[in-house]
Amino acid sequence: MRKLKITILVENTVGVPLGLISEWGLSMLLDFGDERILFDAGEQGNLVNNAQILGHDLRKIDRVILSHGHYDHTGGLLKFLQYRGTIPVFAHPDLFTEHYGRGLKGQADRYLGVPYCQRQLESAGARFHWHSEPLELSSGLWLSGEIPRKTLFERIDDQLLEFKGGDVVQDSLYDDLSLFYVTDQGLIIILGCAHSGLVNIVEHAKRVTGVQKVRAIIGGTHLGPASPDQQQQTIDYLRGLNFDCFAPNHCTGLSMLSKLATEFPSAFTWAMAGNTLDFN
């Protein structure tokens, strides 16, 4: 098993007072020693500044994984590409879906999708690889593919919409991807926003990898906007995992983060910009 060090480059909050810049978004650097992966790119491009402050050279990144096509996970991609140059980018074929959110009048008037067109990103060096099925990227490291929606209580946020065939409908967010890493102590599950439902993702990770023990869950859980019923049933499920590390952030929301810290005091870890997580 390769060691893994995860550095939070961009998040809503800053955990290390070194001049880092926070933004509404998420970007993480996964360093396996022989391979470096950028998981999401945040909203504004502050990942470049933050990485330099933290002593990471983003020109050494081997590939990019995009969890889904929302602006707060893809908006920094162009600035990264202009800094890094040509690089493979792995994502779901629906990455450029017209993702929208409800505005003040309840209409789909807030564009939430990728801020750039595919051609613009490709001209800056993105070499897209589209995957909707699970894919083993390297030894023990899996791209989830589409997440089957099997739970009855996990639902896509009803504030999220998409344009399909000229109509405005509930966003399906099939482009929601996660990463699963198999270690000797169990699965490390890395999330973008968990729009498919945290329980759905964990159960899918077990099926894809054949590993039942969950060691760590890291990233956005989208439990903040979820209904109280979904929040409680998810917490009840998580209690049965007996994980070693739980590092939710971003769309989890501050009040839910506080609740999760209380529910899982021995496993909970803050995952703000500048924080690192080491798995040996």
Q: What is the pLDDT of residues 75-111, one digit of tens each?
A: 999 999 999 999 999 999 999 999 999 987 777 779 9
Tokens representing 140? 């023990």
**Could you give the angle at which helices 228-239 and 254-263 cross, rounded to 10 degrees?**
30
Query: Are the beta carbons of 9 and 42 closer than 8 angstroms?
Result: yes
Q: Tell me the CA distances in angstroms from 171 to 19, 80, 97, 161, 202, one per residue in order.
A: 37, 28, 9, 4, 21
Nearest alpha carbon to residue 18 among 45, 60, 55, 43: 55
pLDDT at residue 1, rounded to an integer: 75
Query: Which SS3 state, helix, strand or coil, does residue 73 take?
Result: helix
Confidence of residue 66 (pLDDT cuts 50, 70, 90): very high
Query: Are the beta carbons of 61 and 90 closer than 8 angstroms?
Result: no
Average pLDDT over residues 193-197: 98
Confidence of residue 70 (pLDDT cuts 50, 70, 90): very high
The domains located in the chain, with CATH, are: 4-279 (3.60.15.10)
* Dihedral over Cα of 258, 260, 262, 264: its sign: negative
Strand partners of residue 141? 138, 181
pLDDT at residue 39, rounded to an integer: 99
Query: Are the beta carbons of 277 and 31 closer than 8 angstroms?
Result: no
The model's pLDDT over 126-184, given as tens digits with 9 standing for 90+, comes to 999 999 999 999 999 999 999 999 999 999 999 999 988 888 899 999 999 999 999 99
Tokens representing 107? 């209409």
Residues near 223 by beta carbon (within 8 Å), at least 6 away in sequence? 194, 198, 230, 231, 234, 248, 251, 252, 253, 256, 260
Average pLDDT over residues 206-225: 98
pLDDT at residue 167, rounded to an integer: 86
Q: Which helix (H) or strand (E) holds 276?
A: strand 276-279
Q: Which helix (H) or strand (E) holds 128?
A: strand 126-130
pLDDT at residue 165, rounded to an integer: 82
pLDDT at residue 46, rounded to an integer: 97
| CA 53 – CA 10 distance, rounded (Å) | 12
Whether 32 has a pLDDT exceeding 80, the answer reads yes
Q: Encode 234-268: b = buried (16+ Cβ within 10 Å), e = exposed.
A: bbebbeebebbbbbbbbbbbeebbeebeeebeebb
pLDDT at residue 108, rounded to an integer: 73
Q: How many CB atoms lie within 10 A of CB 121?
A: 21
The model's pLDDT over 222-273, given as tens digits with 9 standing for 90+, comes to 999 999 999 999 999 999 999 999 999 999 999 999 999 999 999 999 999 9
